[in-house]
Structure 1
Amino acid sequence: MADYVHEIRKLVGHRPIIMNTSAGILVNEAGEVLLNERVDTHNWSLPGGYLEYGETYAQACVREYKEDSGLNVAIKSRIDIFDVGDVHYPNGDITQTISALFLVEPVGGQLLQNATDETLSLAYFPFNQLPSLLNQQTVDMLAAADQYLNKKESK
């Protein structure tokens, strides 16, 4: 069922709802994380988005990463599940998201060079110099990813 989110919103309007999302962490050789500047809120988030009906978290991560960044990615590992935090969208929608976060690696494609209907721009940022982020859940996911990556390096 394509475009599941729009179908749900037609039924419930702007009422707060719970939705499942998936996001990926891609880190370059300098240890910086790739973020996308969002069209809807004009702040930054991890490439990712809502699951379509029938999709797994991993499938959604791969699909959404391509849509948001232009890159084809493969899942390396799941970092964690995050279920605290709301997103208040400019159009009035309110959503509590349950998000799966994956460590990903590029396997093809290339970074978007132009804005799309979801992404204004893409940039790599050091974990200790992040821009204005979408919400607290994004902050929490980046902190968990930084900790996860530091644990892997210390082994």
Structure 2
Amino acid sequence: MAYIADLRALVGHRPLILTSASGALIDKDGAVLLQERADTGDWGFPGGYMDYGESFGQTVVREFKEDAGVVVAPVKLLKLQDGDLYTYPNGDQVQPVNAFYLVRELEQNSYPVKATETVRTARFPLDGQPPRFFNQQHAAMWTVARDYFHRHRTEIIH
């Protein structure tokens, strides 16, 4: 976040295009892991903005560990999202370009999450009612994850 804080110190609340990566960790029963965000209280897929020098894949791995306490590996790029605009409660405006991955869990260990980013994590059945999402981009990711699970459920093993 130091990179974004440095940018914001220079440009204030002016709109920025920022790159991010997030992921869907789906279990064999079709439940997906989400995080309750500390900044808004809404739910979202673990993920976040890239650090300078990172790839999308490295970002999703780092963000999953920070946001959900889980070590993952990206399996498949499900969607590249680039058409959403968002204004944070503090007035910061962004167009997030997000790489949304299917991920698999590498370790059964859980790690502490960043309390400044995550209140808690929970699994939600993709066939159930989606929770209140952080923004439209996360709602769209829910649909992508649900549709992928229904087309490829036999391939998903966690």
Say if 1:115 and 1:121, in contact at 8 Å, map to a contact too.
Answer: no
* C-alpha distance in structure 1 between counterparts of 2:27 and 2:114, whole Å: 22
Note the residue ranges of structure 1 that are not aligned, 5 or more in a row.
none
- Following superposition, the deviation at residue 115 of structure 1 comes to 6.7
* Residue of structure 1 equivalent to 2:45: 46
Say if 1:65 and 1:73, in contact at 8 Å, map to a contact too.
Answer: yes
Aligned residues: 153
- Following superposition, the deviation at residue 28 of structure 1 comes to 2.1
* Residue of structure 1 equivalent to 2:66: 67
* Residue of structure 2 equivalent to 1:144: 144
- Following superposition, the deviation at residue 121 of structure 1 comes to 0.9
- Following superposition, the deviation at residue 31 of structure 1 comes to 1.1
Percentage identity across paired residues of the two chains? 39
Say if 2:16 and 2:93, in contact at 8 Å, map to a contact too.
Answer: yes
* Residue of structure 2 equivalent to 1:104: 103
Note the residue ranges of structure 2 that are not aligned, 5 or more in a row.
none
Partner SS, residue 106 of structure 2: strand
Which one has a larger percent strand, Structure 1 or Structure 2? 1
Moved over 6 A (4+): none
Q: Which moved more, 1:99-108 or 1:88-97?
A: 88-97
* C-alpha distance in structure 1 between counterparts of 2:111 and 2:43, whole Å: 16
Partner SS, residue 130 of structure 1: coil
Q: Which moved more, 1:27-36 or 1:58-67?
A: 27-36
- Following superposition, the deviation at residue 154 of structure 1 comes to 7.0
